[in-house]
């Protein structure tokens, strides 16, 4: 399927402009995998440059490469290259651009990284502020006592 995409008859090119001004020229059929972009094109047919205000050039490049190359093998290796921050930013990008395949791949990857980890670890990697009262937290921990057994060391 990846090969089909690049050989498609559509030779029309589209420019995507990332939040930091970086420009990407992509084929129409690649851009259409981003449903948000598709909606944009549907609304104004003559558009040549589409602004993507929420995604940095660095991440848009990764997203475009994913769309071009995606297959089972690529997906398996894809997520290993990125740190947690990048994974989260890529997920935000995939969500904004509405690319379901990439979203699925990234959700799976993030889940894998927090599997069997302690809440302290998860708070750290996700940068979540703990606003539970100590009593509330103690109560929840007691309720799920079994689940907290055998957790990986941080």
Note the residues at the interface with another protein (CB under 8 A). Answer: 36, 39, 53-54, 85, 88-89, 91-92, 95-96, 98, 103-104, 107-108, 110-112, 114-117, 119, 122-123, 126-132, 137, 140-141, 143-144, 146-148
User: DSSP readout, 69-80?
Assistant: H-SHHHHHHHGG
For residue 94, what are the CA distances in angstroms to 25, 101, 118, 127, 132? 18, 9, 27, 20, 31
Structure tokens at 18: 């990332």
Nearer to another protein, 44 or 111 (CB): 111
How near is the Cβ of 31 to another protein at its closest, in Å? 17
Nearer to another protein, 12 or 141 (CB): 141
Nearer to another protein, 12 or 108 (CB): 108
> In this structure, how many other beta carbons lie within 10 angstroms of the beta carbon of residue 1?
6
Cα–Cα distance measured from residue 87 to residue 85, given in angstroms and rounded to the nearest whole number: 5
How near is the Cβ of 64 to another protein at its closest, in Å? 18
Q: Which residues of 71-87 are buried (b: 16+ CB within 10 A; e: fewer)?
A: eeeebeebbeebeeeeb
How near is the Cβ of 9 to another protein at its closest, in Å? 26
Nearer to another protein, 5 or 17 (CB): 17
How near is the Cβ of 154 to another protein at its closest, in Å? 14
């Amino acid at each position: 399927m990846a090969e089909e995409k690049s050989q498609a008859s559509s030779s029309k090119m589209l420019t995507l402009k990332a939040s930091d001004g970086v420009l990407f020229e992509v084929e129409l059929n690649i851009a259409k995998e981003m449903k948000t972009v598709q909606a944009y094109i549907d609304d104004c047919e003559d558009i040549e440059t589409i602004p993507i205000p929420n995604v940095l050039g660095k991440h848009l490049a990764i997203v475009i490469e994913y769309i071009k190359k995606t297959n089972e093998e690529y997906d398996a290796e894809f997520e290993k290259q990125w740190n947690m921050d990048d994974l989260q930013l890529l997920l935000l990008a995939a969500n904004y651009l509405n690319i379901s395949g990439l979203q699925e791949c990234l959700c799976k990857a993030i889940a894998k990284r927090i599997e069997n980890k302690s809440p302290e670890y998860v708070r750290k990697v996700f940068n979540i502020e703990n606003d539970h009262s100590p009593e509330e937290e103690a109560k929840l921990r007691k309720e799920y006592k079994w689940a907290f057994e055998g957790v990986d060391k941080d």
